[in-house]
């Protein structure tokens, strides 16, 4: 787990709309090591899916990305369409939220599964078919020979998601991006899929970026977590740090909004208000209108990133206030 395989620097993604330019992602940076699972958490509209699509180069025509996305020594944002096409589905692949909309209803499972193998690996049709059957076995689909000839509508939701995973893994990618892979599934099926992803990750040493809003899923799969709010990263840390010592009021609010199944006395403590619109200009910290601890400073200036520990950083003025208080408590003689 030492080699960095993906490095995102100051990624900004904007959309041209009738109402002017709208920023969905506002300068985020992170890196991912080999074999690591990074979870991006946030509510809908915070820019987590757009971040993934920007990395994949799958944005709509009215969108534009700036910044750097270094993968394998190349800046993905500067690649031409056909160069990117060689990477997509080969070195980087993606699992989407809705397996029904992501699979093509007019082609068989076998066709869609063999497609990346025929394109990227130059396998013969026969070899691709054999590899496809192996993949289906690997993701735990019974009777793979029969499934190869079936169409997506003949499979259940969990089964379709397994097919999606099989397609994504076909060319043994170095990086797998999973956009809410279990949100549309029932808990029992979700548990099966999470187990499967974990097993496969260990087997192939794939790095995974998992996008989700479910804190339970995060605790289960993540090594490191990024919390996004309104297009910005507001907290980043190892999964232990983030759950045991959350710092940003938004992260704490997220954790207090999900009823705990094991604790009957759990008190819900929701975050007031709703997410701002993308085109809403907010001065200072973008969370301050909803923050219970907002101060004068939060309205005036955007907070800087504070590194609490080696593997935990936060963007919140409270961090500084705390540090100030701390230094006040300890007279200069201590220094």
Partner 1 sequence: MSTVNVSHQVLYSLKNVKKHYPIKGGIFKTVKNHVKAVDGISLDIYKGETLGVVGESGCGKSTLGRTILGLESATEGEMVFKGENISTKSQRQLKPFKREMQMIFQDPYASLNPKQQIGQAIEEALIIHTDLSSAERREKVVQLLKEVGLKEEHYERYPHEFSGGQRQRIGIARAIAINPSFIVCDEPVSALDVSVQAQVIMLLEDLQKKHGLTYLFVSHDLGVVRHLCDRVLVMYLGQMVELAPVERLYENPLHPYTEALISAIPRPVVGQRRERIRLKGDLPSPADPPAGCAFHTRCPLATELCRAERPEWREVEEGHFAACHYR
Q: Which residues bind partner 1 (CB under 8 A)?
A: 43-44, 156-159, 186-192, 194-195, 213-220, 239-240, 243-244, 253-262, 264, 266, 268-272, 274-275
Residue with Cβ nearer partner 1 (92 or 194):
194
Smallest CA-to-CA distance from 308 within 250, 254, 248, 249 is with: 248
Q: Which of 310, 151, 181, 162 is nearest to 237 (CA)?
A: 310
User: Which of 269, 330 has the CB closer to partner 1?
Assistant: 269
Shortest distance, position 59 Cβ to partner 1, whole Å = 23
Rounded CA separation 258/268 (Å): 7
Contact 25, 54 (CB under 8 A): yes
Across 162-179, b (16+ Cβ under 10 Å) vs e yields: bbbbbbbbbbebbbbbbb
Closer Cβ to partner 1, 71 or 250, answer by number: 250
How many Cβ atoms from other residues are within 10 Å of residue 141's Cβ? 20
Shortest distance, position 29 Cβ to partner 1, whole Å: 24
Angle ∠(248,250,324) on CA atoms, nearest 5: 30
Query: Encoding tokens for residue 91?
Result: 């070195």
Cα separation, 225 vs 223, in Å, equals 7
> Whole-number minimum distance, CB 157 to partner 1, in Å?
8
Largest CA distance in the chain: 78
**45 or 67: whose CB is closer to partner 1?**
45
Name the minimum Å distance from CB 262 to partner 1: 7
The angle that helices 109-120 and 157-169 make with each other, rounded to 10 degrees, is: 10
When the beta carbons of 3 and 153 are compared against partner 1, the nearer one is 153
- Closest of 284, 321, 318, 316 to residue 301, by C-alpha: 284
CB of 199 to partner 1, least distance (A): 12
| 3 versus 267: smaller Cβ distance to partner 1 | 267
Closer residue to partner 1 (CB): 186 or 320: 186
CB-nearer residue toward partner 1: 108 or 183: 183
Give the shortest CB-6-to-partner 1 separation in angstroms: 24
């Amino acid at each position: 787990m030492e080699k960095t395989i993906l490095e995102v620097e100051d990624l900004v993604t904007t959309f041209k709309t009738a109402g002017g330019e709208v920023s969905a992602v506002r300068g985020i940076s992170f890196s991912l090591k080999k074999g690591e699972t990074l979870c991006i958490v946030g509510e809908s509209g915070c820019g987590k899916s757009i971040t993934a699509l920007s990395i994949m180069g799958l944005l709509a025509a009215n969108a534009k990305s700036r910044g750097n996305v270094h993968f394998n020594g190349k800046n993905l944002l500067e690649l031409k369409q056909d160069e990117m096409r060689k990477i997509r589905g080969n070195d980087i692949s993606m699992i989407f939220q809705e397996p029904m909309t992501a699979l093509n209803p007019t082609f068989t499972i076998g066709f869609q599964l063999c497609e990346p193998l025929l394109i990227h690996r130059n396998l013969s049709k026969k070899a691709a078919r054999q590899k496809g059957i192996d993949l289906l076995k690997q993701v735990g689909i019974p009777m793979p020979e029969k499934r190869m000839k079936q169409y997506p509508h003949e499979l259940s939701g969990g089964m379709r998601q397994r097919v999606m995973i099989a397609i994504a893994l076909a060319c043994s990618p170095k990086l797998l991006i999973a956009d809410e892979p279990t949100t549309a599934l029932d808990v029992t099926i979700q548990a099966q899929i999470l187990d499967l992803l974990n097993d496969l990750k260990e087997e192939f040493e794939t790095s995974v970026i998992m996008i989700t809003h479910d804190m339970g899923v995060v605790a289960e799969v993540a090594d490191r977590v990024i919390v996004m709010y309104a297009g910005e990263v507001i907290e980043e840390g190892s999964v232990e740090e983030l759950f045991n010592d959350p710092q940003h009021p938004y992260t704490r609010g997220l954790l207090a909004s999900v009823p705990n199944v094991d604790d009957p006395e759990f008190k819900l403590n929701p975050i007031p208000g709703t997410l701002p619109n993308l085109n809403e200009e907010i001065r200072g910290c973008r969370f301050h209108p909803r923050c219970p601890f907002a101060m004068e400073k939060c309205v005036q200036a955007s907070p800087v990133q504070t590194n609490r520990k080696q593997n935990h950083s936060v963007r919140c003025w409270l961090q500084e206030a705390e540090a100030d208080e701390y230094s006040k408590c300890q007279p200069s003689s201590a220094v």
